[in-house]
Structure 1
């Protein structure tokens, strides 16, 4: 599976583009702020129905314009697939597969697997547990449709329970029976989510450790430790026991929405002890493990997007990353860089065919340097 052609209008700072890509390495070179990352984000949008960097769709429309449009033509399981995404300000966004609009956007998730590795992924390490839960949900939702459904049901139930908590306040005991339906929903859907996360982490950790050893050259031990209230007993009981406290606080303090994935380097939190290069190696290995996991479950390789990944890696780690992406299991790759000569040196070492595109002030043009 790979994208053959991309058309877009008014996506972020990109005014208009008509681009053809090869099933190899596609290189985007240009200054910071030129629009390289925005092109990667457009590809991400076609896979996930949302931006990787902006939570609000209306902020994706180019300044002083009223709409954006992205259209991709893919080679998919021996045939051609056309995906369309469009948004007019003040209206609901449209998503179409072969000109047929989706009734629910969740139906599209998982069709076109993709892994984006960006400097912003350091948030997985440095920020709160919600970033790591989003990571887990994002990967699992790509191949497990029921998981995505369970997360949506859980979040709706959590919202209803929190609303009831805020309205009940100190009078919670008089309406305690009304919490039973939401507690049951959170317990049942939460258990499925917990079990799916547990299986995923168990399968992912050794692959993550393998990639980390390769990129770092060994000598560093990494570990992922999953923490969940479901490990402490039946969630319905935990919710009942915490009801008085929850009512005083106005929100639910037990459940999978409080899960965390502890990330350790040599037995210590990597966010505290890791250097900038070690942190980058950590999330790079994590995302590459995600790539291998998805490849195994789908039976074909996701599209891989590497956004400014060769900055802040020492020469040895950069060389190992180059060796990795040169392997045949990595098929279509997009790489951004500010320095054309450095990127040329990188892609030539992989032995793969490549195309170059120059990005300048929101305009993208093919470059003569191709192979």
Structure 2
């Protein structure tokens, strides 16, 4: 699978631009602020129907314009597919494949597998548990649409249960029977999600550790630990044990929406005890393991986006990344960098067809 062409209209800083891509390596070079990362974000948009960097969809529309449109042409095995994402102010976002609109964007997730490595990934270490849960959910969802549907259903029931808890507090009342209806639905979807997260991490963690070992030249040991309340107690019992607390807080304080991942190095949290170089290596290993997992599940090599990668890595790590290209482990790559000469010198070593776009 590869992206042959993309057209951007009023997307971020682009008024109207078309790029024709090389099947293997494509590089966007230029000064900061010219839109290199915006092109990668447009490619990401075609896979996930949303921006990687900005969750407010209307803020991706070019200033003073009323809409944006992204169109991509893909070669998947022997067929050609066209995907269009567009948004007009005041209207709902539209995603089409070969001219047909999706009723649910979730049906599109996983069709165009993609992994991005970006400086923004540091949020996985520094931000709260929600960011790490989204990482797990993103990886699983690209190969399991049922999982994504269960997440959507779980979150919908969670909102309804929280609204009921607020209603109880506001009206100084309580109805255990009514609450149990939501508890049973949370238990149904939540248990499925828990089991799938657990099974995924059992397969994913060894892949991640192997990737880190290569990147760091086996200098230290790392781990990825799944933290969940469901390891200790069943879902319904968990909700029952916390009902008094939930009534006081007016929201659901326990469940799979509280799951987390602990990133560890030598048995300690990498956030506190890892150097900058170790944290970078950790995040890259995490994303490359994501790539490996999705490739195995989908039988397709995901598109790989490397944003500002050379500025963030030392020469050794860059060489190791490029060696993976030589081994034909990757499919199509998109790279951004501020230095054309540096980029060209590195990609030449890959001995693969490449194209450089000066922005």
What band does the TM-score fall into relative to the shorter chain? over 0.9
- Specify every segment of 5 or more residues in structure 2 that has no aligned partner in the other structure, as ranges: none
Cα distance, 1:155 vs. partner? Answer: 0.1
What's the counterpart of residue 40 of structure 2?
A: 40
What's the counterpart of residue 211 of structure 1?
A: 211
Q: What is the rounded CA distance, in whole Å, between the counterparts of 1:206 and 1:89 in structure 2?
A: 45
* CA shift digits 1:89-118 (9 cap, x unpaired): 111111111011111111111110000110
Cα distance, 1:289 vs. partner? Answer: 0.4
* SS in structure 2 at match of 1:195: helix
Question: Contact between 1:170 and 1:248, CA under 8 Å: does it hold in 2?
Answer: no
Matching of residues 118-197 of structure 1 within 5 Å: 118-169=118-169, 174-197=174-197
Question: Contact between 1:154 and 1:190, CA under 8 Å: does it hold in 2?
Answer: yes
Q: How many residues align?
A: 359
Question: Contact between 1:276 and 1:312, CA under 8 Å: does it hold in 2?
Answer: no
What's the counterpart of residue 314 of structure 2?
A: 314
* SS in structure 2 at match of 1:261: strand
Matching of residues 332-343 of structure 1 within 5 Å: 332-343=332-343
Cα distance, 1:329 vs. partner? Answer: 2.0
Q: What is the rounded CA distance, in whole Å, between the counterparts of 1:11 and 1:312 in structure 2?
A: 26
Q: What is the rounded CA distance, in whole Å, between the counterparts of 2:118 and 2:349 in structure 1?
A: 22
1:97 aligns with 2:97: yes
Cα distance, 1:171 vs. partner? Answer: 6.9
Q: What is the rounded CA distance, in whole Å, between the counterparts of 1:253 and 1:317 in structure 2?
A: 42
What's the counterpart of residue 77 of structure 2?
A: 77
Cα distance, 1:170 vs. partner? Answer: 8.0
Cα distance, 1:342 vs. partner? Answer: 0.6
Question: Contact between 1:58 and 1:89, CA under 8 Å: does it hold in 2?
Answer: yes
Q: What is the rounded CA distance, in whole Å, between the counterparts of 1:283 and 1:321 in structure 2?
A: 13
Question: Contact between 1:277 and 1:312, CA under 8 Å: does it hold in 2?
Answer: no
Question: Contact between 2:113 and 2:300, CA under 8 Å: does it hold in 1?
Answer: no
The 10-residue stretch of structure 1 (124-133 or 167-176) with the greater mean CA deviation from structure 2: 167-176
Question: Contact between 1:205 and 1:224, CA under 8 Å: does it hold in 2?
Answer: yes
Question: Contact between 1:4 and 1:74, CA under 8 Å: does it hold in 2?
Answer: yes
How large is the RMSD of aligned CA atoms in angstroms? 1.2
* CA shift digits 1:149-182 (9 cap, x unpaired): 1000000010011111111128777312211011
* CA shift digits 1:18-73 (9 cap, x unpaired): 11111110010011111000000000000001010111111100011111010000
Question: Contact between 1:228 and 1:256, CA under 8 Å: does it hold in 2?
Answer: yes
User: Under a length normalisation based on structure 2, what TM-score does the superposition of the two structures give?
Assistant: 0.98
Q: Which runs of 4+ in 1 moved over 4 A?
A: 170-173
What's the counterpart of residue 363 of structure 1?
A: none
Question: Contact between 2:119 and 2:312, CA under 8 Å: does it hold in 1?
Answer: no
* SS in structure 2 at match of 1:31: coil
- Specify every segment of 5 or more residues in structure 1 that has no aligned partner in the other structure, as ranges: 360-371
